[in-house]
Amino acid sequence: MHFLTPLVFLFSAVPSVRSLDSYQPCPLLGPRFPLPTGLPTSKPLQAALMNLTAALDALSTGDSHDFTATTNTTSFSVALFSSDPLSNASSPFFYQYHHTASNSTAGPIGVREVNADSVYNVARITSVFTVYAFLVAAGDTHWLDPITKHVPELAASEGSQPVESVKWEDVRLIDLASNMAGIGRDATLDSLSNKSVPKALASILPTKNQQLISTFSKNHRDFLKLMAKRRPVNLPSSTPTYSNAAFQLLALAVENINRKPFNTTFDQSFLQPLNMRSSTLGAPNNTKNAVIPTNETVSGWADGRIDESTALAANFMYSTVTDLSKAGRAILRSELLSQVSTNRWLKPVSQTSNAADDIGAPFSIYRATLTGKSTGALVPIYTQFGAQGLYSSYFGLAPDWGVGFAILSADTAAPADLNAHADLISTYLLPALEKSAIQQAFLNYAGTYNFGDSKLLITIDGLSGLSLTNWTSGSKDLRAAFAELYSIPSDTLDFRLYATNLVDQTAQSSRKAFRAVLQDIAAPIDAGTPTCITWMDSLDKFVYNGVSLDEFVFELDEKGMAIGLDIPALNMTLKKGN
């Protein structure tokens, strides 16, 4: 047994040849095809939405064989939205589904049947929009600032022992936004006081320190005093540890940066510009459209009635799936932020202990793959979910297709687990979106491009990207020439084009830049594990006259159909044939 491990390692380290049947391209991170448009008319998506409705019906009636839900106590609303203007002609979403619990969600006040305009407490989704408000109002240039720069009261509370005291000058704003600050979950020194403590534990608890007795603080001065007494969970930037208090500190920071109350910043940064009329930071006074199970106190609805708006920054935005669709669409379309700022925001900040999840600011980023295996193309889904009182929420963005979803729920017994609902959306929606993107890429880009005696063929084979399968100029095989340049046998060359987000737009046409990725289909696999380093190994590798050889620019008409292809380094412009 002691000799087996090194032998296994020795043989596993011998490179194996990749099977042509199992070959998976190594795309650049991002959409494998241009974003699909007009999704409501896409046949794959129409079929998927019919199946999703049937699955949600089964879930709502308790007939689902794959998932369970508390159908008699949980009311919920679902919306799917798209960044594509063609998918939002008359509504901010292209799909909606609503279920009202059989025992009636409504208490003495509020709605009797939920719909797209029903107002829920969106719970932890609030943190996404606290960060959004910060970015719109102050930008991301402050992300590396220490919190003590904008909330100087914390500087005076630092102790000298790392185990007992947070070193606040090391906590950056990005740490707070991404749950990487290593600070306590809440500004409370005795959360056990509000719970039934098991007798065995109660019998050994020491006598309370009367100087430390407190409840959750809603006043920012008391809040800062309490946070100063909280011991750290970890050093900053070490590992994700969720904190409601982090978002209250972020809200205090933007108050001091903008010299405005946080609720004013929240309203002016995105609620008003996006016409989110049914959304508020804190519980609205008007409960006409409110979803309030049992009553305002038991449901937790009334917990959002706090004068100190910064105390609402983690869990107390109230909204509808209609308004959340408006906001999600605006994020995907970079309506209130620059495209570059959005790009920086929708990126991981840290890993987690789960290989399928990363942490963003403040997203939980699910690392999905289209194949369901670790070797498939990575599709990041930016999500946030959580519960507050009897409310649960789930929000997600999939930038690779320009779509997102919102799920809001209220329960009469306990906050609902919405993972089943999110899993159904993922199960039916993601494959259909990729199929829609592939079909549109075929219609818009596939075909023969000609100029003089030069001919180039673009095909779609179901794998990632546009496949360049033939390219000649007279008697010259340019595809083989590229294979030779990249030291790849021409008979095992895989030549694919991937869209960038570089677009020149005019009223009647546009020019969209792609980059080529060349791979050897038969390349050895290191220790049986395929690597994916095309971003480092070959991209922009060969340049002529100041232009990369792997740059390809498609000319598109007003409908997004390719009408020409420019290869700038070769000074070659080809027109698409019929």
CA–CA gap between residue 320 and residue 116 (Å, rounded): 6
Mean of the per-residue pLDDT values for the chain? Answer: 87
Share of the chain above pLDDT 90, in %: 64
pLDDT surpassing 80 at residue 568: yes
Residue 163's pLDDT is 78
Position 209 scores a pLDDT of 63
Exposure on the CB side of residue 39, measured as CA atoms within 13 A: 27
pLDDT digits (tens, 9 = 90+) for 141-172: 999 999 999 999 888 766 667 777 889 999 99
Question: What pairs with residue 459 in β-bridges?
Answer: 467
- Residue 189 pLDDT: 64
For the domain spanning 96-437, the CATH number is: 3.40.710.10
Binned at pLDDT 50, 70 and 90, residue 13 comes out as: very low
- Condensed to tens digits (0 to 9), the pLDDT of residues 388-443 reads 999 999 999 999 999 999 999 999 888 998 999 999 999 999 999 999 999 999 99
Q: What is the predicted pLDDT for the residue at 372?
A: 57
Predicted confidence at residue 46, as pLDDT, reads 94
How many residues does this entry show for the chain?
Answer: 578
pLDDT higher than threshold 90 for residue 528:
no
Residues 6+ apart with CB under 8 A from 80: 49, 93, 94, 95, 96, 403, 404, 405, 425, 429
Q: Count of CB atoms within 10 A of residue 7's CB? A: 9
More confident residue, 550 or 207: 550
Which pLDDT score is estimated for 190?
66
pLDDT of 216 strictly over 60: no
Residue 51 has pLDDT above 60, yes or no: yes
How many other CB atoms are found less than 10 A from the CB of residue 484?
12
Calpha distance 297→181 (Å, rounded): 32
Q: What is the pLDDT of residue 241?
A: 93
State residue 89's pLDDT score: 59
Q: For residue 554, what are its two tokens?
A: 């498609």
- Range of lowest pLDDT (4-13, 64-73, 81-90, 525-534): 4-13
Peptide bond into 362 cis (omega under 30): yes
Q: Kindly report, residue by residue over 362-380, the tens digit of the pLDDT.
A: 999 998 877 655 556 789 9
**Which pLDDT does position 59 carry in this prediction?**
87
The most distant pair of C-alpha atoms in the chain lies apart, rounded to whole Å, by 91
Segment 89-107, tens digit of pLDDT: 568 999 999 999 877 655 6
CA–CA separation, 450 and 468 (whole Å): 14
pLDDT band for position 289 (50/70/90)?
Answer: very high
> Which among 105, 133, 102 has a CA at the least distance from the CA of 120?
105
Vertex 483: Cα angle to 478 and 488 (nearest 5): 165
Interval 344-352 mean pLDDT = 93
Rounded to an integer, what distance in angstroms lies between the CA atom of residue 427 and that of residue 54? Answer: 13
- Other Cβ atoms within 10 Å of 200 Cβ, number: 7
Every domain of the chain and the residues it spans: 4-30+446-576, 96-437
At 526 the three-state DSSP class reads strand
**Region 64-81 average pLDDT:** 77
pLDDT over 70, % of the chain: 87
Give the residue with greater pLDDT, 412 vs 207: 412
Cβ density class 269-279: b for 16+ within 10 Å, e for less = bbbeebebebb
Q: What is the DSSP string of 441-496?
A: HHHHH-EEEEETTEEEEEE--SSSSEEEEEEEETTEEHHHHHHHHTT--GGGEEEE
Q: What is the mean pLDDT of residues 180-191?
A: 80
Q: What is the mean pLDDT of residues 513-524?
A: 91
Sign of the C-alpha dihedral, residues 325, 327, 330, 331? negative
Cut 0.85: pTM above it? yes
pLDDT per position as a tens digit, 219-266 = 778 888 888 888 888 999 999 999 999 999 999 999 999 999 999 999
The candidate with the shortest Cα–Cα distance to 59, out of 418, 405, 325, is: 418
Confidence at 1, pLDDT banded by 50, 70, 90: very low
Could you give the CA distance from residue 365 to residue 369 in angstroms, rounded to a whole number?
13
Give the CB-side neighbour count of residue 500, counting CA atoms within 13 A. Answer: 18
pLDDT tens profile 266-282: 999 999 999 999 999 99
Residue 347 above 80 pLDDT? yes
CA distance 544 to 562: 25
